[in-house]
Amino acid sequence: MRTVLLLIASNFFMTIAWYGHLRHRGVALWKVILISWGIALFEYCLQVPANRWGYGQFTAFQLKILQEIITLLMFVAFALAYLREPMRWNYAVAFLFILAAAYFAFLPSPSSEP
Protein backbone atom coordinates (compact mmCIF):
# COMPACT_ATOMS: atom_id res chain seq x y z
CA MET A 1 0.00 0.00 0.00
CA ARG A 2 2.88 2.36 0.79
CA THR A 3 4.22 1.93 -2.74
CA VAL A 4 0.86 2.72 -4.33
CA LEU A 5 0.36 5.82 -2.16
CA LEU A 6 3.83 7.10 -3.00
CA LEU A 7 3.21 6.49 -6.70
CA ILE A 8 -0.08 8.41 -6.50
CA ALA A 9 1.62 11.34 -4.74
CA SER A 10 4.55 11.36 -7.15
CA ASN A 11 2.22 11.32 -10.15
CA PHE A 12 0.28 14.24 -8.74
CA PHE A 13 3.45 16.35 -8.78
CA MET A 14 4.58 15.10 -12.18
CA THR A 15 1.21 15.80 -13.79
CA ILE A 16 1.35 19.36 -12.49
CA ALA A 17 4.98 19.74 -13.63
CA TRP A 18 4.27 18.43 -17.13
CA TYR A 19 0.83 19.88 -17.83
CA GLY A 20 0.02 22.60 -15.30
CA HIS A 21 1.57 25.31 -17.45
CA LEU A 22 -0.77 24.66 -20.38
CA ARG A 23 -3.33 27.10 -18.97
CA HIS A 24 -0.62 29.75 -18.59
CA ARG A 25 0.71 29.98 -22.13
CA GLY A 26 1.69 33.62 -21.66
CA VAL A 27 4.47 32.71 -19.21
CA ALA A 28 7.93 32.56 -20.79
CA LEU A 29 9.03 29.02 -21.64
CA TRP A 30 12.27 29.26 -19.65
CA LYS A 31 10.26 30.17 -16.53
CA VAL A 32 7.88 27.27 -17.09
CA ILE A 33 10.84 24.90 -17.45
CA LEU A 34 12.42 26.07 -14.19
CA ILE A 35 9.13 25.88 -12.31
CA SER A 36 8.45 22.42 -13.74
CA TRP A 37 11.91 21.20 -12.67
CA GLY A 38 11.25 22.47 -9.17
CA ILE A 39 7.92 20.65 -9.00
CA ALA A 40 9.42 17.49 -10.50
CA LEU A 41 11.98 17.36 -7.68
CA PHE A 42 9.12 16.41 -5.33
CA GLU A 43 8.03 13.75 -7.81
CA TYR A 44 11.49 12.16 -7.76
CA CYS A 45 11.61 12.29 -3.96
CA LEU A 46 8.48 10.13 -3.92
CA GLN A 47 8.97 7.99 -7.03
CA VAL A 48 12.41 6.65 -6.13
CA PRO A 49 11.38 5.37 -2.67
CA ALA A 50 8.17 3.94 -4.14
CA ASN A 51 10.18 1.87 -6.60
CA ARG A 52 12.85 0.95 -4.06
CA TRP A 53 10.35 -0.24 -1.45
CA GLY A 54 7.95 -1.78 -3.96
CA TYR A 55 10.55 -3.86 -5.77
CA GLY A 56 10.27 -7.38 -4.46
CA GLN A 57 6.59 -7.06 -3.69
CA PHE A 58 6.19 -6.20 -7.39
CA THR A 59 8.42 -6.96 -10.35
CA ALA A 60 10.02 -4.03 -12.15
CA PHE A 61 7.57 -4.59 -15.00
CA GLN A 62 4.62 -4.48 -12.60
CA LEU A 63 5.94 -1.32 -10.95
CA LYS A 64 6.17 0.40 -14.32
CA ILE A 65 2.73 -0.71 -15.43
CA LEU A 66 1.23 0.33 -12.08
CA GLN A 67 2.91 3.72 -12.41
CA GLU A 68 1.50 4.18 -15.92
CA ILE A 69 -2.04 3.30 -14.81
CA ILE A 70 -1.80 5.77 -11.94
CA THR A 71 -0.39 8.38 -14.32
CA LEU A 72 -3.31 7.93 -16.69
CA LEU A 73 -5.89 8.12 -13.90
CA MET A 74 -4.23 11.23 -12.52
CA PHE A 75 -4.02 12.80 -15.98
CA VAL A 76 -7.68 12.11 -16.80
CA ALA A 77 -8.79 13.80 -13.59
CA PHE A 78 -6.41 16.71 -14.24
CA ALA A 79 -7.47 17.14 -17.88
CA LEU A 80 -11.16 17.09 -16.99
CA ALA A 81 -10.99 19.29 -13.89
CA TYR A 82 -8.11 21.70 -14.52
CA LEU A 83 -7.71 21.88 -18.29
CA ARG A 84 -11.46 21.42 -18.80
CA GLU A 85 -10.93 19.11 -21.76
CA PRO A 86 -13.80 16.79 -22.64
CA MET A 87 -13.50 13.01 -22.45
CA ARG A 88 -14.12 11.49 -25.86
CA TRP A 89 -15.26 7.93 -26.49
CA ASN A 90 -12.00 6.96 -28.21
CA TYR A 91 -9.96 8.13 -25.19
CA ALA A 92 -12.13 5.98 -22.93
CA VAL A 93 -11.72 2.93 -25.19
CA ALA A 94 -7.96 3.43 -25.33
CA PHE A 95 -7.86 3.68 -21.54
CA LEU A 96 -9.85 0.44 -21.21
CA PHE A 97 -7.29 -1.34 -23.40
CA ILE A 98 -4.50 -0.07 -21.17
CA LEU A 99 -6.37 -1.34 -18.10
CA ALA A 100 -6.76 -4.72 -19.81
CA ALA A 101 -2.99 -4.78 -20.39
CA ALA A 102 -2.43 -4.09 -16.69
CA TYR A 103 -4.77 -6.94 -15.79
CA PHE A 104 -2.64 -9.36 -17.80
CA ALA A 105 0.58 -8.02 -16.31
CA PHE A 106 -0.61 -8.80 -12.79
CA LEU A 107 -1.82 -12.35 -13.48
CA PRO A 108 0.12 -14.93 -11.48
CA SER A 109 2.98 -16.56 -13.33
CA PRO A 110 2.37 -20.14 -14.36
CA SER A 111 4.19 -22.66 -12.22
CA SER A 112 7.46 -23.86 -13.68
CA GLU A 113 6.94 -27.26 -12.08
CA PRO A 114 5.53 -30.13 -14.23
Q: pLDDT band for position 26 (50/70/90)?
A: very high
Q: pLDDT band for position 99 (50/70/90)?
A: confident
Is the predicted pLDDT of residue 45 greater than 70, yes or no? Answer: yes
Model confidence pTM above 0.95: no
Question: Phi/psi of residue 58, each to 5°?
Answer: -120, 155
Distance of CA 101 to the CA centre of its chain: 15
pLDDT of residue 81: 96
Helix 89-105 / helix 60-81 crossing angle, nearest 10 deg? 160
- Quote the percentage of the chain above a pLDDT of 90: 79
Can you tell me the mean pLDDT for 80-91? Answer: 95
